[in-house]
């Protein structure tokens, strides 16, 4: 199991029921011989006959018309009312074909499967109990955060309700009864918990006690971790087997939590699109303020992207949608990049975990380790493979148990061989412990199942000289559980964090923001062993996870804090405040390899919650702006209906130049200039005067008109135009910044990126 987690008025036609009966009749014998498959069916509900009081009754009628009696009760999985207007069902190809002939049919989405993409991070983000965003937002009091994930462990101390306010009256949700889950475990912190697995089970993946709980209870631990990161309550004295000791708290510790379990602990760790849609649909109906998803599906145009479609519906309802960018770690690998979604990449914290090894000659080295404190090694022989280079690398089958049993093995990994496979080899051979040598560690916190640490290759020379000398080499001591704060430089972009440009809309810079996503400590489910040490299986209530899955709930928590202060702000306004106050300081390189990073890696920069509370200016956008953006993509009528769930829309101002807080200029061989227009709203002082400051490298030129914005009242709107030019000899990716600065020390910063295709 990896811990790098790694989803108007209607015109009614009374004659339509008879028409549907004719259209949907099918050859029952043929249906019996065909395989069933799950489909998500998007319907035009303006065609719903008035005889049906509910959409679900209409959907059932459609399915019964297309089925022989034995199938009627099992075909319908979900009827959707918010994310899309339609349903999901098990159908044969013939049945699907008949449904698609109906004039009410808009689109069909075959079932698809997605995947999963703290004690210190609040401090790292600058959140303080006596000043700034935390006390101003009353720690997120009154805000409801909906988590779409693997479920929740309700008994975790992170979900106790001490100090929590009453449940908001507007809340429409509830806690469901299920396997090992009673509604009575919910409280003023955990106010809702539901599970959705019909799509998964329809695909033949049964939910059982062996693999999961058939309820909202978390088996895998991922949902518990993301929930407690976003909005967990204060819990003192937690750690990861001794590392990162301190008080755990979520980013919005007084916000309420609602869990929508759509991901299940299967061998493939996948989720069914029909279940994800059902969870998001229910979250909208229940009345969440923030929706956080640390999952994703394959990249696809918006009219086929179930998360994009569902998120647009949530945005229309005023819900901020925050999604993980993905863990693919290479260019054009962004997931969840729709411009109405806040897309989050992962950065490192200024915290590191170490062990030390002291050799018998007095030399001491400090390396990376997460091994629990249960072992303290002294006076152990050090083994180096008798100068055999192959053996010193510790590749599979290279070590002789007769030679290494009871010894500390030094694995000289200068050729970048996978550390975890070497650990397996050392363990197989019966060694006591290991020292690994590499500058490219790729091993997670739950994989240190033997006493070991990782040293940089710079330590190799001294250790080789000692271990190959005339005297017998020995490890005098190995000590574990050293947590250090202030590690510099930080943050870095995590090596696994997905990069832009966005493959669907490269003209929208993604990710939007970077937040802590490496070694985040939060609550987990204590029902399964986190790590095996020898013959012992160790469980824990709190653990270190890494992934953009961990970064997204940090931003969801900040969004909850901002929502508590600015209830009137739109989701776009909240995202704008987060982006324009982010900082690019110390983020000039990637985590691994020293490769210069660009906004394609980190978006607007690293989140700075306290500054986001008072951004000065915001780049706002509403539902109509997104409609015009979609119009500019050239979608046909059916594709537009699938995304916006309407029969009529206005495309008079169609443009892909959305009023976004960042600028991405995509250039072909024939173009060297790009123009943008933006509108900013003053949310600061009435008499604010902003002057533009432009920063850009050689080979790139940015112009702006006007260069001064004079506001005379709060909420006033002013527009400006920005142009980007590049030389033909400029690099493939170049970038600068537009910064609006006023007399009250507001700095409204936007990255301006030029991308050559």
Q: Residues with catalytic annotation?
A: 149, 222, 549
Q: What secondary structure letter does DSSP report for 606?
A: B
How far apart (Å, rounded) are the C-alpha atoms in residues 388 and 379?
24
Q: Tell me if residue 747 falls in helix, strand or coil.
A: strand
How far apart (Å, rounded) are the C-alpha atoms in residues 481 and 356?
9
Angle, CA 311 vertex, CA 307 and CA 316 arms, to 5°: 160
Closest by CA to 718, choosing from 685, 751, 682, is 682
CB-CB neighbours of 380 under 10 Å: 19
Q: 139 and 253 in contact (C-beta within 8 Å)?
A: yes
How far apart (Å, rounded) are the C-alpha atoms in residues 260 and 493?
29
Closest by CA to 550, choosing from 113, 118, 232, is 118
| Helix segments in 394-532, DSSP class H | 401-404, 419-428, 460-467
Closest by CA to 485, choosing from 608, 352, 356, is 352
Q: What is the 3-state secondary structure (H, E, C) of 366-434?
A: EEECCCCCCCCEEEEEEECHHHCHHHHHCCCCCCCHHHHECCEEEEECCCCCCHHHHHHHHHHCCECEE
Q: Which residues pair with 754 in a beta bridge?
A: 665, 734
Token reading at 468: 């190959």
Question: Which residues lie below 8 Å from residue 201, measured CB to CB, with a gap of 6+?
Answer: 207
Q: Tell me if residue 116 falls in helix, strand or coil.
A: strand
Q: Tell me if residue 31 falls in helix, strand or coil.
A: helix
Q: 457 and 410 in contact (C-beta within 8 Å)?
A: no
**How far are the Cα atoms of 83, 512, 690, 755 from residue 656, in angstroms, in the given order?**
23, 17, 26, 16
Closest by CA to 194, choosing from 140, 257, 111, is 257
Q: Judging by beta carbons within 10 Å of its beta carbon (0-12, 13-18, 19+), is residue 689 exposed, middle or buried?
A: middle
Q: 658 and 633 in contact (C-beta within 8 Å)?
A: no
Closest by CA to 275, choosing from 370, 201, 165, 191, is 201
CB-CB neighbours of 607 under 10 Å: 28
Kind plus residue range of the DSSP H or E element containing 256: strand 256-261
How far apart (Å, rounded) are the C-alpha atoms in residues 48 and 361?
83
């Amino acid at each position: 199991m990896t811990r790098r987690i790694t989803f108007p008025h209607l015109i009614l036609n009374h004659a339509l029921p008879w028409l549907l009966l004719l259209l949907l009749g099918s050859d029952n014998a043929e249906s019996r011989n065909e395989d069933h498959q799950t489909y998500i069916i998007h319907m035009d509900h303006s065609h719903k006959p008035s005889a049906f009081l509910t959409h679900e009754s209409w959907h059932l009628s459609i399915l019964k018309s297309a089925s022989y009696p034995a199938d009627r009760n099992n075909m319908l999985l979900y009827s959707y009312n918010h994310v899309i207007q339609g349903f999901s069902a098990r159908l044969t190809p013939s049945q699907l074909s008949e449904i698609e002939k109906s004039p009410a049919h808009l689109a069909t989405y075959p079932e698809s499967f997605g995947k999963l993409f703290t004690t210190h991070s609040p401090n790292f983000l600058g959140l303080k109990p006596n000043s700034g965003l935390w006390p101003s937002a009353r720690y997120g009091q009154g805000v409801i955060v909906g988590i779409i994930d693997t479920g929740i462990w309700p008994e975790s101390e992170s979900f106790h309700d001490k100090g929590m306010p009453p449940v908001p009256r507007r809340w429409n949700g509830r806690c469901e009864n299920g396997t090992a889950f009673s509604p009575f475990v919910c409280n003023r912190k955990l106010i809702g918990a539901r599970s959705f697995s019909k799509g998964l089970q329809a695909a033949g993946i049964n939910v059982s006690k062996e693999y999961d709980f058939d309820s909202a209870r978390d088996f895998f631990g991922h949902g518990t971790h993301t929930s407690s990161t976003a909005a967990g309550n204060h819990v003192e004295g937690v750690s990861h087997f001794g590392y990162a000791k301190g008080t755990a708290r979520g980013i919005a510790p007084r916000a309420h939590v609602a869990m929508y379990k759509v991901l299940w602990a299967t061998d493939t760790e996948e989720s069914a699109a029909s279940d994800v849609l059902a969870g998001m649909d229910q979250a909208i109906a229940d009345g969440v303020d923030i929706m956080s998803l640390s999952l994703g599906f394959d990249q696809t145009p918006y009219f086929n992207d179930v998360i994009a479609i569902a998120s647009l519906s949530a945005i229309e309802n005023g819900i901020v949608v925050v999604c993980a960018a993905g863990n693919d770690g290479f260019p054009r690998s962004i997931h969840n990049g729709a411009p109405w979604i806040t897309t989050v990449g992962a950065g490192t914290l200024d915290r590191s975990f170490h062990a030390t090894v002291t050799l018998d000659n007095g030399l001491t080295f400090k390396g990376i380790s997460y091994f629990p404190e249960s072992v303290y090694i002294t006076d152990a022989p050090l083994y180096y493979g008798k100068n055999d280079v192959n053996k010193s690398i510790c590749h599979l089958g290279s070590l002789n148990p007769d030679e290494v049993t009871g010894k500390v093995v030094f694995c000289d990994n200068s050729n970048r061989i996978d550390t975890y496979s070497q650990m397996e080899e050392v363990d197989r051979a019966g060694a006591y412990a290991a020292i690994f040598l590499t500058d490219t560690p790729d091993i997670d916190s739950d994989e240190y199942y033997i006493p070991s640490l990782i040293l940089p290759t710079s330590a190799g020379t001294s250790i080789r000289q000692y271990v190959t000398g005339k005297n017998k080499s020995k490890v005098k001591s190995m000590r574990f559980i050293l947590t250090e704060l202030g590690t510099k430089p930080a943050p870095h972009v995590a090596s696994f964090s997905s990069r832009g440009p966005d493959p669907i809309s490269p003209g929208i810079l993604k990710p939007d923001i970077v937040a802590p996503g490496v070694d985040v400590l939060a609550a987990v489910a204590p029902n399964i062993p986190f790590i095996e040490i020898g013959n012992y299986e160790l469980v824990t209530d709190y653990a270190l996870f890494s992934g953009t899955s961990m970064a997204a709930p940090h931003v969801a928590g900040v969004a909850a804090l901002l929502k508590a202060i600015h209830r009137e702000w739109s989701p776009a306004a909240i995202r704008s405040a987060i982006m324009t106050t982010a900082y690019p300081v110390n983020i000039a390189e990637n985590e691994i390899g020293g490769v210069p990073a660009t906004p394609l890696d980190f978006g607007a920069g690293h989140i700075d919650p306290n500054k986001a509370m008072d951004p000065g200016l915001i780049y706002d956008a509403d539902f109509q702006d997104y409609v015009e953006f979609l119009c500019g993509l050239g979608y046909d009528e059916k594709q537009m209906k699938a995304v916006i769930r309407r029969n009529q829309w206005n495309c008079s101002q169609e443009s892909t130049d959305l009023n976004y807080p960042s600028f991405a200029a995509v250039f072909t061989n024939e173009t060297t200039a790009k123009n943008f227009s933006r509108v900013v709203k003053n949310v600061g002082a009435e008499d604010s005067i902003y002057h533009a400051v432009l920063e850009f490298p050689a080979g790139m030129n940015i112009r702006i008109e006007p260069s001064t914005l004079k506001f005379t009242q709060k909420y006033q709107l002013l527009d400006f135009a920005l142009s980007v030019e590049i030389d033909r000899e400029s690099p493939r990716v170049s970038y600068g910044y537009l910064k609006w600065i006023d007399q009250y020390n507001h700095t409204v910063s936007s990255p301006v990126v030029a991308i050559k295709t």
